Amino acid sequence: MDLDAVRLYSAPTTVADTDEIARWLGESTDASVETRDRFLGGLDDETADELAEEFARARVLSPYERETGNTMTGIVRYEERALENPERAGGVIYDGFAVQRALYPHAVDSSDDGTLSVVLLDRVLGTWGDDGRWHKRVVVLGRPTLVSVPGLYEAPAKPEAYYKEKSKYAMTGDVPPREYLENKVEGDFLVEDDPRTTDALKGYVLAGYHYTTTGDAFCDDERCRLYDAHRQEDLVRAQLREPEFCEEHAAVYDTDS
């Protein structure tokens, strides 16, 4: 499918630089790319009420239970507050495909096949796996494409030593700073508000464009930005180190090729 334009929606509670991602995507593809404010911001009351209930329905209740959703009044009210004040949200995993279905009627995609909406979200998204459990994801491909900024830090597994070191502080809630963990734990990984966030997100935003135009989800080459990394060290290699692309995808997206 040909795409004339991409609309990239920001997640202002995160460190992601939407303008920089849009610039890179515009140089790497034939589409015009424009940035928009937060997708879930400035909603009218009816839409906000509707989406609050949809987010409540999309809540993952247990890592090992397929059924989702809790629409008790208190939960819906929480989601209403989270829509209005996103900095207060957190600690919840949502069914990525359910969120995608909820947002579709409000995205430009529903009326214009030539434009793709890519929504950066400050929510953690997951999908149900064949192994009978939920897995956090960085990106949910489709229309609109959803990119979870916290998923960048939480979905790919960090080195085992990281979790052991962090667990020492679990009782006090005093999580050590990123610099401490990076120096203490061997291996390269991203943590919340990492200054490399913007660069690391570029490949996932491109994946939304790539999937929509070609029907192919990801690349099997671990050195390519279109690789779907399941470990942090693989994410760092794919998104932050040279080369940017495998030979096949460099011919399509690499501006230096």
The pLDDT tens digits of the residues spanning 77-88 come to: 999 999 999 988
Q: Report the candidate in 72, 9, 65 with the shortest Cα–Cα distance to residue 39.
A: 9
Q: What is the pLDDT of residues 186-205, one digit of tens each?
A: 778 998 899 999 999 999 99
Our count of domains for the chain comes to 1
- The rounded distance, in Å, linking the Cα atoms of 241 and 158 is 18
Phi, psi values for residue 27, rounded to 5°: -75, -25
Helices 197-214 and 232-240 pack at an angle, to 10 degrees, of: 80
Helices 197-214 and 18-28 pack at an angle, to 10 degrees, of: 40
Q: Is the peptide bond before 144 cis (omega within 30 degrees of 0)?
A: yes
Q: What is the pTM of this model?
A: 0.92
Higher pLDDT, 66 or 183: 66
- Domain range for 75 is 5-253
Which CATH number do you get for residue 224? 3.40.390.10
Cα–Cα distances in angstroms (integers) from residue 166 to residues 34, 149, 179, in the given order: 39, 21, 13
> How does DSSP classify residue 231?
B
> How does DSSP classify residue 30?
S
